[in-house]
Chain A
Amino acid sequence: MAETWIDLLRLLDGALRLATPLILCAMAGLVSERSGVINIALEGKLLTGAFTAAAAVTLTGSVAVGLAAAVCAATMLSMVHGFACITHRGEQIISGVAINIVAAGLTVVAGNALFRQGGHTPPLASDDRFPALTLPFAETLAAVPVLGPFWGELVSGHTLPVYLALASVPVVWWLIYRSRFGLRLRAAGELPEAVESAGVSVTVLRYRGLLIAGVLCGVAGAYLSTGHGGGFVRDMSAGKGFLALAALIFGRWKPWPVLFACLLFGVLDAAAPRLHGLEVPLLGTVPVALVSVLPYGLTVVLLAGFFGRAEAPGALGRPPGRTG
C-alpha cells in the first residue's frame, strides 16, 4: 500500500515538473486570448526564453540574471506580436507563425555565434541552475504516514518556477475575474467596440495582455533550460507551447480548468514511458507514440463539441471595428 502511494506520488511529482511550462504558457495564452489576441506564438516565446536564460546564465553565472533576461526576451517578442497585430491590425495567426519561425532560427543562429556548439549552450553545472527548495516541515513530517510522503515527495523539493507556475493560476484568476483591469480585458476580447465607446483603449488593454503573456512565457522558458534541464538545445520547447494552447482550449479559457488540463497532460506525459511495452487486454501493447499525442486528440474531440462546448472569446482574432 505504502509502496503504491509513493509510486503514485513520484508519478505526480514528475507530472508537475512536466506541467510547469504548460501552466505558465497556458496562463500567458489565457491572458492574451481573453483580451482578443490569438497567441499561437507561445511556442516561439517559450523557446526564446529558454535560450536567453541558458545563454545569460552561461555568461554571468546567475540564474536570477537568466530569469530576467528570459522575461525580457519573451516580452520583446510579445511586443513584436502586438506591433503587428494590434498597431497594424495584421493577421494574428500569421504574426504568430512568423514569431515561431524566427525564434526557431534565431535561437540557433545566436547560440552558434556565441558558443559555437551547434546551436546548443554549454551544459550548466547544477550550481548554475535553480536550486530545489525544501519547504518547511518536509523533514519533521517525513515520519508521518501518507501525509509525510505527500508533503516531502510531491509538494516540497521543486524549483522556484514550479511554485511560480502554481501561484500564477490564482493570480491570473483574480486579475481576470476580480480586478477592474480584468473586466475591461475580457470586454476587449468579447466586444471591443463597447470598450472603445466607454472611452477605454482596446489597444492599450491588448498590449498589456501581451505584456503579461511575455513575462509568463519568459519564466516558463527559464524553467525549461535552467530549472528542468541544464542548458539549451535546439528546438527544446518541442511543441510545449502548442500543447499549452491545447490545454487553454481544453480548459475553455478559464484559469482553474486550464490548470487541470495542464496537470492532466503532465500526467499523460509522465506516464507514457511507464506504459512502454505494457500489455493491455484487447488492445495489445500500448503504442507509446500514440499516448504522447493523446492530448491533441482529446482537444480535437473537445472542439468537436462531444463533451461540452469550447467557446472562445467572442472577438478573438478580430481588431475593433472589423466584422467577420
Chain B
Amino acid sequence: MTPLPRWIDIGLLPAINLLLALVTAGIVVVLIGENPFRVLRVLISGAFSAETLGYTLYYATNMLFTGLAAAVAFQARLFSIGAEGQATLGGLGVGLTCLLLDPTLPPVLVVAIACLAAPVFGAAWVLVPGVLQAWRGSHVVITTIMFNFLASGLMVWLLSGPLKEPGRGSPQTRRFAEDAALPYLHDLLGSIGIARSPLNVSIVIALLAAAGVWVLVWRTRFGYALRALGHSREAARYAGIPIRRMIVVTLLISGALAGGMALNEILGVQHKLILNFSAGYGFTGIAVALMGRNHPAGICAASLLFGALFQGGAELNFEFETITTDLVLVIQGLIILFSGALAGMFTPWMTRLVLARAVRDG
C-alpha cells in the first residue's frame, strides 16, 4: 500500500477520528435531550479559565505519565494495560519512603528518594509480567490485568492493616512530614500571580520524562531496537536483537513511567497514601497514547486535551441536571475506539483518494 502523505497520516486522519468520537458523544447528548454545543462550551470554558487552567494541567500531568507509559510499550507492540497497578505501586514506593524516612532525614532528601522510589516500584510491578511474556510467552495483556487486581488487593490490605494510621477509620496512612512534598507551582510562582491549584513540580518531571522518551525511542540504538521489535518481531530476531531482554527492559521503562504518576498524586497533592488514587488514569493513558500516535509531542497535546476534558467535565455536574462528568468517560472510550481500534477505517479510502489524485495530476 502506498504510504500516505505525512500531513494526512499524522494530521488529518487523527482529526477525523477525534471528530467521529465527539460526534458520537454529541449524539448521546442529543438523545438525553441537551444541546451538545452547550456541553462543548461548558467543557471548554470550564477547562481554560484563569482559575481552572491549573487543574487542567494537574490532570494532564497524570495523563502524561500514564500516556508515555502506554506509548513506550505500544511502540514495541506490547499491549501492557497495567499502568493502573504500576501507578498504585509507585504510590506505595512514595508512601513507604516518606513514612519510614521523614522522621529522621531532612525533607529535601526524603523527596529526592521518593522521586526515585515511585518509578522503581512501578517498574518492579511489571517485572513478573515482563519476564513471563519474554520467557513463557504468557500474554502481557492478561498478566498485567491480573497484576492490576493484585495491586489493588495489596493496597486494601496494607491500608486497612499494617500501614493504617492508628485511631482512624478510613483506610489511609498518616500524613507525611510537612515539607516532604513536591512544591505547588502557585507557591513557587506566586509572585507572577497564578491561581491556587493542585498543579505542582511533577509537571516539570513529566515533561522531562517526555523529552527523555523522545531521545530514548528515536535517538538511541536501544530505541531503534525497540521500534524494530514493534514493526516485526521476526525481522528483529534476524537482526540479532535480543528479543527477550528488549521485552523486559521496555516494560520496565513503561512501568517506571506509570509509577511516576504517584509523584503528582501522592507526593504532590495528597501527602498521604490513599486507596484508588490511580482512579482510571492508567486506562486514560491508553487513550492519550493512541491519540498522540505514541509520540511524546502528540502525547503532550493529547494529555492537555484529556486534562481539559476532565476539568471541564467536572463543571458539567453544576451546569446540567441530566449530564454528569461521566460523559467524559464515554468520550474517552469513544476516542480509544475510533483512534485506536478503528484507526485504520479510513486509511484504504484515503489511500484511494490520494492515488486517484496522483493519477489525475500525472
A2 to B238 Cα, complex, angstroms? 67
Whether A112 lies near B326 (C-beta < 8 A) is yes
For A175, the chain B residues whose CB sits under 8 A away are: none
| In the assembled complex, B152 has its CB within 8 A of some CB on chain A | yes
For A80, the chain B residues whose CB sits under 8 A away are: 337
Whether A299 lies near B337 (C-beta < 8 A) is no
B132-140, B211-219, B253-261: which lies at the A interface?
A: B132-140
Q: Using an 8 Å CB-CB cutoff, how does the interface string of A50-69 with B read, 1 for contact, 0 for none? A: 00000000000000000000
Whether A90 lies near B340 (C-beta < 8 A) is yes
Whether B337 lies near A102 (C-beta < 8 A) is yes
For B341, the chain A residues whose CB sits under 8 A away are: 84-85, 88, 90-92, 94-95, 98
Known: A94-B341, A323-B234. A293 touches B329 (CB 8 A): no
Whether B149 lies near A303 (C-beta < 8 A) is no
For B33, the chain A residues whose CB sits under 8 A away are: 113
For A289, the chain B residues whose CB sits under 8 A away are: 153-154, 156-157, 160
A104 to B143 Cα, complex, angstroms? 22
Known: A106-B330, A300-B128. A97 touches B336 (CB 8 A): yes
Contact partner of B153 among A99, A293, A303, A304, CB < 8 A?
A: A293
Whether B146 lies near A324 (C-beta < 8 A) is no
Q: Using an 8 Å CB-CB cutoff, how does the interface string of B300-344 with A read, 1 for contact, 0 for none? A: 000000000000000000000111101111111110110011111
The number of A-B residue pairs with CB atoms under 8 Å apart is 157
| In the assembled complex, A105 has its CB within 8 A of some CB on chain B | yes
| In the assembled complex, A312 has its CB within 8 A of some CB on chain B | yes
Q: Using an 8 Å CB-CB cutoff, how does the interface string of B139-162 with A read, 1 for contact, 0 for none? A: 101110111011011101100110
| In the assembled complex, A246 has its CB within 8 A of some CB on chain B | yes
For A116, the chain B residues whose CB sits under 8 A away are: 321-322
For B321, the chain A residues whose CB sits under 8 A away are: 116
For A324, the chain B residues whose CB sits under 8 A away are: 232-234
- Smallest Cβ-Cβ distance to B336: which chain A residue: A98
Contact partner of B340 among A95, A104, A292, CB < 8 A?
A: A95
Whether A106 lies near B81 (C-beta < 8 A) is no
Whether A98 lies near B340 (C-beta < 8 A) is yes
Contact partner of A88 among B129, B139, B326, B345, CB < 8 A?
A: B345
Q: Using an 8 Å CB-CB cutoff, how does the interface string of A297-324 with B read, 1 for contact, 0 for none? A: 1011001110000101000000000011
Give the contact-size bracket for chain A. 35 or more
Known: A105-B330, A296-B149, A300-B128. A112 touches B323 (CB 8 A): yes
A282 to B30 Cα, complex, angstroms? 61
Whether B322 lies near A113 (C-beta < 8 A) is yes
Q: Using an 8 Å CB-CB cutoff, how does the interface string of A89-125 with B read, 1 for contact, 0 for none? A: 1111111011111111110111011001001000000
| In the assembled complex, B283 has its CB within 8 A of some CB on chain A | yes
CB distance from A39 to the nearest CB of B (A): 11
For B100, the chain A residues whose CB sits under 8 A away are: none
For B283, the chain A residues whose CB sits under 8 A away are: 97, 100-101
Contact partner of B139 among A239, A312, A323, CB < 8 A?
A: A312
A110 to B344 Cα, complex, angstroms? 30
Give the contact-size bracket for chain B. 35 or more
Contact partner of A105 among B146, B150, B328, CB < 8 A?
A: B328
- Smallest Cβ-Cβ distance to B79: which chain A residue: A93
| In the assembled complex, B286 has its CB within 8 A of some CB on chain A | yes
| In the assembled complex, B290 has its CB within 8 A of some CB on chain A | yes
A104 to B309 Cα, complex, angstroms? 17
Known: A113-B32, A300-B146, A303-B143. A91 touches B232 (CB 8 A): no
| In the assembled complex, B28 has its CB within 8 A of some CB on chain A | yes
For B328, the chain A residues whose CB sits under 8 A away are: 105
For B340, the chain A residues whose CB sits under 8 A away are: 90-91, 94-95, 97-98
Whether A296 lies near B142 (C-beta < 8 A) is no
For B128, the chain A residues whose CB sits under 8 A away are: 300
A292 to B154 Cα, complex, angstroms? 10
Whether B342 lies near A93 (C-beta < 8 A) is no
CB distance from A120 to the nearest CB of B (A): 12
CB distance from A287 to the nearest CB of B (A): 5
CB distance from A265 to the nearest CB of B (A): 12
For A94, the chain B residues whose CB sits under 8 A away are: 79, 286, 290, 336, 340-341
Whether A109 lies near B150 (C-beta < 8 A) is no
For A90, the chain B residues whose CB sits under 8 A away are: 340-344
| In the assembled complex, A38 has its CB within 8 A of some CB on chain B | yes
For A83, the chain B residues whose CB sits under 8 A away are: 342
For A119, the chain B residues whose CB sits under 8 A away are: 324, 326
Contact partner of B322 among A99, A101, A112, A249, CB < 8 A?
A: A112
CB distance from B29 to the nearest CB of A (A): 9
Beyond contacts A99-B333, A101-B329, A109-B323: 16 other A-B pairs, Cβ-Cβ < 8 A, are: A40-B141, A40-B145, A85-B341, A88-B344, A88-B345, A89-B344, A93-B79, A94-B290, A98-B333, A98-B340, A101-B287, A109-B326, A290-B157, A297-B150, A324-B233, A324-B234
Q: When A and B form their complex, which 3 residue pairs have the shortest distance between CB atoms, in order from nearest?
A: A105-B329, A293-B153, A102-B333
User: Can you give 13 A-B contacts (C-beta < 8 A)?
Assistant: A84-B341, A88-B341, A88-B345, A93-B81, A95-B340, A97-B286, A98-B336, A105-B326, A105-B328, A105-B332, A106-B333, A112-B326, A297-B150
List chain B positions with a Cβ less than 8 A from chain A: 28, 32-33, 79, 81, 128-129, 132, 136, 138-139, 141-143, 145-147, 149-150, 152-154, 156-157, 160-161, 232-234, 283, 286-287, 290, 321-324, 326-334, 336-337, 340-345
